[in-house]
Each structure stands twice: as structure tokens, then as C-alpha cells.
Structure 1
Amino acid sequence: MSVYAGRYEGRCAVLTGGASGLAKETAKRLVAEGAKVVLWDLNADALAAAKEEVGAVDVVALDVADPAQVEAAAAASAKALGKIDILVCSAGITGATVPVHEFPIDSWQRVIDINLNGLFYCNRAIVPFMLENGYGRIVNVASVAGKEGNPNASAYSASKAGVIGLTKSLGKELAGKGVIANALTPATFESPILDQLPQSQVDYMRSKIPMGRLGEVSESASIICFMASEECSFTTASTFDTSGGRTTF
């Protein structure tokens, strides 16, 4: 793990989905580079372990699909940190792996509620803290599925397309106000979320990557750390790919 000593000195971050995977890896690097972090996740037990592993200031167990819980978590995190400079929204689920005409309604609704609505609630709740301080970096984790669509993953693909559109709107709204918002669009990478998918779906997604392999979580974490830094100063309302050549736009 490459570390830029002191890059985030004095910076404070909130990361959703922080108990595992990409958000936890990113949080570890942010802390190593000087930031204070609070982790949000639905899994309270995993959060407790992640707090110790990451060195987080605090953790909040919540369902991001509940706007009242998100509002309360934002206020609590701002109090614990003193301010919020960085938001990384990485909480997400895959949903069912079936064609559209067979897709269960409850699974569709839950995927949209967490991946898109929940991300909206998090952005909505934390942007005011950033505007108050005249500084912010928002990283919304989308997916190449939001650009291309994956068969038998319509809810996930639709939710991530929504994340891209929301982020483009938000970035334009905040341009010139010191707050930058971008989306990350990774191809499939090694992560606990793959446990929600049949191996056939993972194999299909790997086959679409010209490099012929899945990504590593550290590769996407590295891009997020740039997106969350002061160095990312003239790119907003945009997407950054870590796709092994799958997407080129």
C-alpha cells in the first residue's frame, strides 16, 4: 500500500459500507495518511472489529435506506470528528441474479433503496456540513454496470447508473463552492460482495475485462484516495474508472 504521509492531516472522513471491502481498505489508507474517520455500516459486529483494525474515531451502525437514521448519523459523526471533509459512499448490495421478467419486486426495491436512495440520503445529509466549511470531497462508488448494464443484474445496473447521474448533477451544483463530487466506476474486484453472486455471474464479469482478471481492492482504494484529496481540484461531476480496460468512456 502506497502511503503519502500527512496527505490528509487535519481532514475528517465518513465512509459508508465501512465494515468491509473497499470502504474499509480506503479508511485504513486515509488514517495512515493522517485523516480521522468514522465508519458507517449495517453490520454492527463487523463494525466493532473494523473500528479497531482501521483506528476509526467512531462507528455508526445504521441502515442507509432509512433517511432518519442517516440524518442522525451525519450529526453524530460531525460531532465526533469536529467537521466532515470527505464522504465515501460505498454501501451496496447486488440483489437477485435473474432476468428482468423474473426479478422479485422486493429484491428490486431493496437494491434501489440501498444503492441509490441510500446514497442520495448520505449525500444530502453531509453536503451541508461541507458547504459550511467551504470544502469537501465526495466519492460515490458506482460500477461499470451502471455504464454498460450486466445481464441478470438489472437492479444493480440501474442503481449504479442512477449513482452516476446523481453525482454528475451534484458535482455541477457544487462547482465553485469548494466541494467536489465524483463517481468511481470499477469493474468487478475481489470483495465480500461477490459472496452474494453465483460463480457463473462472477465468471461472466471477469470475461468482460480485457486484462483477464478481477481488480484488487487496493487498486480502487488508491483512486478513491486521489479523488478524496486536495490534489483532485479541477475534476468534478465526473467518473473515474478502474475497469481493466472494460470501459473507455
Structure 2
Amino acid sequence: MSDEFSNQVVLITGASGNVGQAVAQRFAQAGAKLVLIDHNEKRLPDLREQYPDSLPLAVDVTNAEAVDDMVQQAEAKFGQIDILVHTVGGFAAGHPVHETPQELWDRMFNLNVRPVYLVGGRVAQHMLDHAVRGKIVFLLARSGLSGSARTGAYTASKAAAQRIMQSMAAELKDRGINVNGVLPSTI
């Protein structure tokens, strides 16, 4: 087993999703301490079983108070957060912009933008408060680089998330925090 990330605390959102599981497995193999976030409390026992030394938490990452509590619990258990890997997001399509129901528009921005702002912002503030030279990685989407027919709410939300990531990268680079985004195609 590698110890490349020994004593590093890695917070992973969407930890029971396919990408989150793969990220957790790699960091665990590299010796990291894991804070595993999922919105569904029923998935936590599996995470606890797979990673017994981790801190699995059910958190609504669209809720500011829940995100604040998440950061406090991670700090209480491990002292600090060194790395954030944010994998939460959602997809919906099928309507031209002018026919997109507002509920769908709001859902895409609530799932794809709000958590980037809340989780990224709260973890960045934690890193600054503790003088952590940390890493923040957002799983975004290549489709946020341009629009396409019948995907306006989704592509606009992913573009907004990318702009937040870029702004954070510019704001934090001189303070020892590296912020990046990964832009896959279809997962």
C-alpha cells in the first residue's frame, strides 16, 4: 500500500456514486484519511464497512448549515481538511430554453452550482483558517464549455460552476490553495 497521502485528510462528496467510490478507493490505497459525504443516510453503513477509519456523513450539500456542520465534524475528527474532491452534480435535458420548466432550471442550478459555491467556499475558508496548503478539485462537465440544443439548464449550470472554480483558483493560488476542475464527457 502506498503512503503518498498518509496523514492527508480528503473530503469526498458524492462518495457512494461511481466516481466518488473510485476516488475514495484510490485515496484509501494511498493512505489518506477519508471524510465520505453522501446525501442518502442509507448508504453510510456500506461506506463505514468499506472504510472503517473514515468519517461517513449524510449531508445535503445544497444546505449551508449542513455544509458548515460537515466541515466542523471533519475538523473535530481529523483536525483539518487537506483535499476536497467534489463529485456531486445532476443532469436533466429535453427542453429548449424557452420551454424549460422553471423547476428544472432551478434544480440544475441547485445541484450543479450551489454545492460548488457552498462546499468549495466553506472548505476553502477552513483551509485558510488553518493555514492548510490544500487542493480543491471539482468534477464539472465538458458540456459546460458550450451550449447545445435542449440542454440549456444543464449546460448553463455547468458553465456557472466552471466560472466559480476559475474564480476560486485565481483568488486562492497565492494563498497556497490549488483549485482545479475536471471536465469529463459522459460518465
Superposed, 1:59-208 pairs within 5 Å as 59-131=56-128, 132-189=130-187
2:111 maps to a residue whose letter is: I
Question: Is the partner of 2:159 in helix, strand or coil?
Answer: helix
State the aligned residue count.
186
Q: CA deviation at 1:71?
A: 0.8
Check the 8 A contact 2:14/2:37 in 1, yes or no: yes
Provide Cα deviations, 1:125-156, integer angstroms capped at 9, x if missing partner.
11122122331100011101111234322222
1:123 maps to a residue whose letter is: G
TM-score normalized with structure 2 length:
0.92
- After superposing the two structures, state which structure 1 stretch, 90-99 or 50-59, moved more: 50-59
1:93 maps to a residue whose letter is: G
Gap regions ≥5 residues in structure 1: 190-249
How far apart, in 2, do the equivalents of 1:124 and 1:38 lie? 17
CA distance 1:170–1:155, change in 2 (3 Å): same
CA distance 1:50–1:151, change in 2 (3 Å): farther
Provide Cα deviations, 1:141-182, integer angstroms capped at 9, x if missing partner.
110111123432222211111111111111111112111000
Aligned to 2:3: 6
CA distance 1:47–1:20, change in 2 (3 Å): farther
2:40 maps to a residue whose letter is: N
Q: CA deviation at 1:56?
A: 5.4
Provide Cα deviations, 1:13-61, integer angstroms capped at 9, x if missing partner.
1111111111121011101101001111111112321332244511111
Q: CA deviation at 1:96?
A: 4.1
Provide Cα deviations, 1:68-99, integer angstroms capped at 9, x if missing partner.
11111111112122210000111111134322
Question: Is the partner of 2:34 in helix, strand or coil?
Answer: strand
RMSD, matched Cα: 1.6
How far apart, in 1, do the equivalents of 2:14 and 2:27 lie? 15
How far apart, in 2, do the equivalents of 1:65 and 1:150 lie? 26
How far apart, in 2, do the equivalents of 1:81 and 1:97 lie? 44
Check the 8 A contact 1:15/1:39 in 2, yes or no: yes
How far apart, in 2, do the equivalents of 1:124 and 1:19 lie? 22
Aligned to 1:241: none
TM-score normalized with structure 1 length:
0.70
Runs (4+) of structure 1 exceeding 6 A deviation are none
CA distance 1:56–1:95, change in 2 (3 Å): farther
Aligned to 1:58: 55
How far apart, in 2, do the equivalents of 1:182 and 1:11 lie? 18
Check the 8 A contact 2:116/2:164 in 1, yes or no: no
Instruction: Indicate whether 1:15 and 2:9 are aligned.
Output: no
Identity %: 28
Check the 8 A contact 1:134/1:177 in 2, yes or no: no
User: Which residue, 40, 43, 59 being the options, matches 1:43?
Assistant: 40
Gap regions ≥5 residues in structure 2: none
Check the 8 A contact 2:4/2:31 in 1, yes or no: yes
